[in-house]
Amino acid sequence: MKEIASSGSIANTIGRGCIYVDKTRYIYELVKHHERIFISRPRRFGKTLTLDVIYTLFKQGVEPYFKDTFIYDKWTFGTYPVLRINFLAFSLDDVAEFTRQLCDCLSDAAAALKLEQYRPDPAPNVCLRRLLDALEKQGRQLVILIDEYDCQLTANLNNPELYEPFRLSLRSFYGALKDRGEIRFLAVTGVTRLKDVSVLSATSDIEDLTYESAYSELMGFTRAEIKHYYSDYLKLGISCQSGFAPEQITDAQVDELLDRMSFHYDGFCFDEFCENHVYSTWSVNKFLAAIAAKGRTVFGDYWYVVGGLPSVLAGYLKTHTIDPVPLLEGTVKTPYEEFVNPSSLLLMPQSVLMCQSGYLTLKSPLTPRPRYVRLGLANREVTTALSSLLSLTFFTKDVDELTGRGVAVLKKGNAEAIVTFLNELAAALPYDHYPVENESVLRGLYQFYFMGCLGDGVTAEQENYKGRSDIRLDVGERRVVLELKFSKDGSDAARLLEEGSRQILQNDYGRESLHGRKLIRLTAVFCGAREERRFISWRQVD
């Protein structure tokens, strides 16, 4: 069974005999049909490995790494010197140091290319222009690959004293790339798509392929790819659960495991027609590697642990609040123009930023009519990651002290103790930022909290054949069903309590797939009056 690679390097992957999901068909099409490209993806989607493949092909051709890949007998584009720049290697908090490091990088490249006419300069754009001028005089061409082009900007979203100088420096640097025939091929990747700083505006000849359907599966794994390349791992995972030998595993069992993986890790869409979807590469690799290491299938939240809180979103949340209701309603409507032409990181709408950082994904085609784009959560892992993030945002830091005790209450406590815990959570909510003004907000805040803390044990708006319960919590050997009601001033609390109890009984909430758990069902009424802001009445429904 081949090993799963742990780094974004083609030498580390193919060179060590690790699994490589062959994406060279897309790279062949990229190089064949385009000369200047930009692709945006969230973190941990294989941007660096993709650039490394392009680097290796242009630097040395198909030998020795590509013998069994699509591109092996098709690469006819020759080899060229390659300038590869990863902005993560440069300073994020010192513009002068960043400028020096970038200039040194360009000067080192000029020396490696033996460009004797090149002269260094304190400005990166001048260094780049002089490097290309020296190449022009020699009649030579260069491949340029730029990774994480925007990381200095996303790191300084709330620091205008650094953000603006970085923006101006980068804009002038990318402007030096425009209309240069010495560039044989240019590829730029990053997290954000920004018109005010990026190559998308500074160089008019670059093509934004972020949502181009033909390349929507370039980064990320498809279901078919996982089934083909990771067959041994899938069978091992099923064997660990079922006790059957791997050779006894049926195709139907493999598909069942893939269905479960899809629930957790699939659903990311980078396709303008909203037809192609991909799994998170990082999460799939970590999930399957854990099968081999631990001898069991663990649907962990791997993406969030490493890349779930990008600096761009962390910075945004320091100065902005997030409305939970649209997120819980399934899809968020975003004006078409704001989505396809985000002019500035500082002015970017919440929904667009969350899509670019991987928390939301396309749920509708990118068409100018209707004049909006629908976005939504991709899968369970993302929902849990977002819930963890927002639970820390919605509630004060004191909520961390409540969580451990709260889990114990949910496992063993009586109905009164559970409601007491709900009220302690309410007291940890900063009402100036997140006022509870209706039932949707009430339900949303608690859903995000529980999903962030309990993960797989939480189901929001669980549907059975009769209706939907608000929150279902599976904790240990117990299932707790919460039907939450909101009262503006408490005057209708009795009526709402009866309504919630009736809904639980009529729709028989919580009995679906109970699997022997003890069932506790509660309805509780929250009073939104300033002097209350707590659950004022509750009832256990048997």
Q: What is the pLDDT of residues 353-381, one digit of tens each?
A: 888 888 899 999 998 888 899 999 899 88
The first and second tokens of residue 341, run together, are: 């032409």
Fold type of domain 10-215: Rossmann fold (3.40.50)
pLDDT in tens, 279-321: 999 999 999 999 999 998 888 888 766 544 455 666 666 666 6
Which of 7-21, 182-196, 197-211, 426-440 comes out lowest in average pLDDT?
197-211
**Calpha distance 302→296 (Å, rounded):** 16
Helix (H) or strand (E) holding 332: strand 332-335
3-class secondary structure, 23: coil
Q: Using one digit for the tens of pLDDT, what is the confidence trace for 225-245?
A: 999 999 999 999 999 988 899
User: What pLDDT is stored for residue 524 in this prediction?
Assistant: 97
The strands making up 478-487's β-sheet, listed across from edge to edge, are 458-460, 471-475, 478-487, 518-527, 534-540
**Strand stretches in 14-172, DSSP E:** 36-40, 82-86, 142-147
Mean pLDDT of 326-343: 81
Residue 264 has pLDDT above 70, yes or no: yes
Buried b or exposed e, range 409-445, using 16+ CB within 10 angstroms: bbeebebeebbbbbbbbbebbeeeebebeebebbbbb
Which residues face 334 on adjacent strands? 373
Contact 375, 351 (CB under 8 A): yes
User: Mean pLDDT across the chain, nearest whole number?
Assistant: 88
Q: Are 541 and 498 in contact (CB under 8 A)?
A: no
pLDDT of amino acid 75: 97
Q: How many CB atoms lie within 10 A of CB 316?
A: 21
Q: Which amino acid is at 391?
A: S
- Of residues 337 and 453, more confidence is placed in 337
Give the per-residue pLDDT at 204.
Answer: 61
Sequence-distant (6+) residues with CB within 8 A of 317 are 389, 393
The ranges assigned to domains in the chain are: 10-215, 223-300, 306-380, 395-540
Q: Contact at 8 Å (CB) between 378 and 365?
A: no
pLDDT at residue 456 in the model: 63
If one compares 342 and 299, the residue with the highest pLDDT of the two is: 299
Residues 6+ apart with CB under 8 A from 114: none
pLDDT of residue 37: 94
Question: How far is the CA of 539 from the CAs of 67, 139, 440, 477, in angstroms?
Answer: 68, 82, 20, 21
